[in-house]
Copies of this chain bind each other. A is one copy, B any other.
Amino acid sequence: MMSGDLDRALAALTIANGAAAMGHRVTVFFTFWGLTVLRRPRRTAARRSLLQAAFCRLLPRGTRRLPLSRLNLAGLGPLLMRRVMRQRNIASVEELLAAAREQGVALVACTTSMEVLGLTREELVDGVELAGVASYLGEADGAAVNLFV
Contact = CB atoms under 8 A, between A and B. Distances in A.
Interface string A13-36: 011001100100000000111000
Given A8-B2, A137-B19, A146-B145, A55 B32 contact: no
Contacts of A141: 144-145
A115 B137 contact: no
A37 to B, nearest CB: 13
B133 A14 contact: yes
Contacts of A15: 133, 136-137
A57 to B, nearest CB: 10
Interface in A33-63: 33, 49, 51-52, 54-55, 58-59
Interface string A104-127: 000000001001101000000000
